[in-house]
Structure 1
Amino acid sequence: MTAHLVSTASAPTDMQPVYLDDLAVGDLFKSGEHAMDEAQITTFAAQFDPQPFHLDDTAARATLFGGLAASGWHTASVTMRLQVTTGLPIAGGIIGAGVELSWPRPTRATDVLHVVSEVLEIQPSKSKPDRGMVTVRSETRNQHGDVLQLSTVRIVVPRRPVANGAGA
């Protein structure tokens, strides 16, 4: 198993782009960190998911969350940012083709998030030799190691270009 561990610096400039040819099943990628806070949670919720348990701690105490909780879509957005900037340096960007997503625990204002991703499957394309599909399972964890979000995503990954530009 190859492990690609990225520093927890906010956005390393030395991350080398990863191509389909560079990946192996079992490869691990770890992102940097993002500290949540109440202002981020309520600002995101006010614009994109205006429910009481995302907007007001007092109102949230009367719900199954028992206190202010970030929208799952907020957690997903932070996850994407962490992967793009520090955790999953796919050449050309992370282009999704499908996802399975769940939130086993709520994200709280005191959480510091990071993402650990593992390559589960690699399928070179037979009809488009310049790319393939990669299945990646990611866990968004807090500072205690609690899994707050699970995702299994199929992404389009380009092959490493060859000198004539035809693909590997």
Structure 2
Amino acid sequence: MRFYEDISVCDTHHSDGYQLSKEEIIEFGKKYDPQPFHTDEEAAKDSVFGGLVASGWQTAAVSMRLYVESSEDMATQAGLGVDDLRWHRPLRPGDELRLETEIINKRISESDTSCGVVTTRHEGLNQDDELIISYAATAMVRRRVDEQ
């Protein structure tokens, strides 16, 4: 388990990739973002995207999965928020997303000194190293009991 004290500003890590299928895009779109360019291959051809694309919210959800899977059992207590969320280009069926993460800030919580507040910068890239999504996330991370 990695605690607040084990984390340093400028630490980086990279996730494995996750390949998104056409079926996953359509299923997510129908359930959570029912716009034609997420749910209907034929209708998507006439959209600004020229074909089926994943919802930005699905891209964010996959990014979260990749972060959790690659975060080395960080002692995260709760997410506090996301800032500067940007979708730079869409994910298409068969694209593979991977996440690059950097710790950009940390401080001890003023309201609960058993935790620290850690901010991470995330960039999601596709198989061609094109930037797909970027954002900063802030979370509370547990401190070691004996160091408080």
TM-score by length of 2: 0.92
Tell whether the 8 Å contact from 1:117 to 1:138 is kept in structure 2 after alignment.
yes
Larger RCO: 1 or 2 (CA < 8 Å, sep 6+)? 2
Match of 1:97 among 71, 74, 80: 80
Match of 1:71 among 36, 40, 55: 55
Relative distance call for 1:49 and 1:103 in structure 2 (3 A) is same
Determine the C-alpha separation between the residues in 2 that align with 1:88 and 1:37.
Answer: 27
How many residues are aligned here? 147
Q: Does 1:136 align with 2:120?
A: yes
Partner of 1:85: 69
Partner of 1:155: 139
Determine the C-alpha separation between the residues in 2 that align with 1:45 and 1:127.
Answer: 39
Relative distance call for 1:143 and 1:107 in structure 2 (3 A) is same
Relative distance call for 1:110 and 1:62 in structure 2 (3 A) is same
Displacement of 1:96: 1.4
Percent identical pairs in the alignment equals: 37
Partner of 1:37: 21
The DSSP-based 3-state class of the residue aligned with 1:25 is coil
Relative distance call for 1:158 and 1:134 in structure 2 (3 A) is same
Q: Does 1:51 align with 2:38?
A: no
Tell whether the 8 Å contact from 1:29 to 1:88 is kept in structure 2 after alignment.
no
Displacement of 1:87: 3.7
Tell whether the 8 Å contact from 2:13 to 2:70 is kept in structure 1 after alignment.
no
More helix by share: 2
